[in-house]
Structure 1
Amino acid sequence: MSASAFVRITRPHNAVVAGLTALLGYLIATGTHTPPSLLLAVVVVLITAGGNVINDIYDVEIDRINRPDRPIPSGEISLSGAKMYTVALFAGGIAFATLTTALCLAIALINSVILVAYAIWLKRIPGLGNVAVAYLAASVFLFGGAFAGIGGLVQNISLAAITFLATVAREVLKDAEDVDGDAAGGARTLPMIIGIRRAGMLAFACACGAVLASILPVGDWWGPFYLTAIAVVDIVILFGASRGLWCTTSDCVRGSGATSILRTGMFAALAVFAVAAII
């Protein structure tokens, strides 16, 4: 067992970005940062890392074929060692969460359960796996806001709703891009069940929901600057989702660039919220 393998299996870049996102959530909710808020990043990094490790544990047979270089199939980390590691990561994250607030602790516990359930069976259920991923992405902002109490959580509802709905749209379109490969591999995704055309329509409906959520007047940042800037972001999100609206094949969805445009819109929305909260 090597130390580098224990770092790589956590997908550190993914975990660190999630931790920084929690801090951004607190910034958006309060307009500032305090030293204790750094605990948010620690909690999210540890729990996200635990989720990444348990995913590798349950994907080990697939990785033996597709990713033999991953730490478990390559033998750098034993299966039993990985199981103990993921328990330690989740336990550490929850332990630090007890030093935050009751709301933050509740979210940390719920998300830990969902991450475990996702690795074991949720990701194999068409549609439900997409919803789980979207919730986990959105909940990081609620977690950051919850450190400031219920008021902070409410401040971040719009951003969480945008993130959730836009992520569902993007996840569905990503599955639509991969229909041919998933079918060959025996996977079962939502676009394979309802068809690529209907998947595109569902993604566009979710994008419309994200736009509606973006104009809800629930935060202190809501005002002329925010409404002007978010209008531009909303156009990007709707444009991205509309690119896959009429597609009937995987090649069409891939060629449309819909998922990349949606990702750009989501990052732009974060920037707008952050700037609006500060000013």
Structure 2
Amino acid sequence: MHGYLAITRPVNSVVAGLAGVLGYLIATGTVRPEAAFLIGIIALVTAAGNTINDYCDAEIDAVNRPDRPVPSGAVSRRGALVYAALLFTGGVVLAFFTNVLCLGIAVFNSVLLVLYAVRLKGTPFLGNLAVAYLSSSIFLFGGALAGPAGLAANLPVAGVTLLAMLAREVLKDAEDVEGDRAGGARTLPMILGVPRSVGLALGFALAAAVLSMLPVFRWWGLPYLLAIGALNLLVFVRSAGVRECATPACVRDSRVTSTLKKGMFLSLLVFTAAAVIY
């Protein structure tokens, strides 16, 4: 049973579920008991995505990560496939107890997770876009539990998350060019080169910062602008060094992906605090 638990990345799956509740809080300013459904649905679908990903990567992991459940023999490939199907089914069935919007997102994300594992992961930029959408959709899902108005309220938050995640995903690929080339992968930085990819990623990050300051949030006002503006400035100052990078090692040394990750976390705290106070 340890292998079947480990293959789901349980901590990541539960944290994703809790982020869905955070999305509901951002959309409504409060949390109701029915929001507990979000944890189960998102955790199950996320766990299923992790499992199907390991199923598809079994041969690669046999070389790079032989300790993972499938290559180590803790979970058979067929067992992983059946387990993923059961987890996807469990998440979608649980979504039937919410509303049509949540059910639609749960089904769409389940299909996308399978497509990502099977094909999109190896497709330049489309794989990055899929990961960015899946991350941002957690907030759409949380808002959708409150109905169309909740979904609409979280569109700006999801947009900021999508753009910031796109920036981080492209920069992560820029960090890993050597390893990806050795593994036979084909990523955007391998096509455009590291300097252009860094420029594109910073463009996505700038777009996320601009969107975060537009009057599209229901809590938009001077206190919010001061908080989010200071955070945006701090992130860009800390990330400034990556602009001159032309090699993967330079991107890694800049620690820009870590800075963006911390910036996204802090921005969610700002969104949540502003939503509750408003």
- After TM superposition, the score normalised by the length of structure 1 is 0.97
Q: Which residue of 1 is the match for residue 241 of structure 2?
A: 243
Q: Which residue of 2 is the match for residue 202 of structure 1?
A: 200
Work out the number of aligned pairs and report it. Answer: 277
Q: Structure 2: how far apart are the matches of 1:19 and 1:190?
A: 30
Q: Which residue of 2 is the match for residue 59 of structure 1?
A: 57
Q: Structure 2: how far apart are the matches of 1:248 and 1:71?
A: 37
SS of residue in 2 equivalent to 1:33? coil
- After TM superposition, the score normalised by the length of structure 2 is 0.97
Q: Structure 1: how far apart are the matches of 2:194 and 2:238?
A: 16
Q: Which residue of 1 is the match for residue 255 of structure 2?
A: 257
What's the CA shift string for 1:45-97, capped at 9, x where partnerless?
00000000000000000111111111111111111111111010000000011
Q: CA RMSD in A?
A: 1.1
Tell me if structure 2 keeps the 8 A contact 1:145–1:153.
yes
How does 1:16-165 map onto structure 2 within 5 Å?
A: 16-165=14-163
Q: Structure 2: how far apart are the matches of 1:71 and 1:83?
A: 13
Q: Structure 1: how far apart are the matches of 2:245 and 2:4?
A: 42
Q: Structure 1: how far apart are the matches of 2:3 and 2:68?
A: 8
Counterpart check, 1:271 vs 2:269: yes
Q: Give the aligned residue type for 2:87.
A: L
Counting aligned pairs with the same residue, the percent is: 54
Structure 1's unaligned 5+ residue stretches are none
Q: Structure 2: how far apart are the matches of 1:51 and 1:230?
A: 32
Q: Which residue of 2 is the match for residue 185 of structure 1?
A: 183
Q: Give the aligned residue type for 1:178.
A: D
Shift of 1:239: 3.3
Shift of 1:174: 0.7
What's the CA shift string for 1:194-215, capped at 9, x where partnerless?
0100001101110111012102
Tell me if structure 1 keeps the 8 A contact 2:101–2:147.
yes
The 1:255–1:261 alpha-carbon spacing in structure 2 relative to 1, beyond 3 Å, is same
Structure 2's unaligned 5+ residue stretches are none
Q: Structure 1: how far apart are the matches of 2:27 and 2:256?
A: 30
Shift of 1:240: 4.8
Q: Give the aligned residue type for 2:236.
A: L
Q: Give the aligned residue type for 2:25.
A: L
Q: Structure 2: how far apart are the matches of 1:149 and 1:277?
A: 17
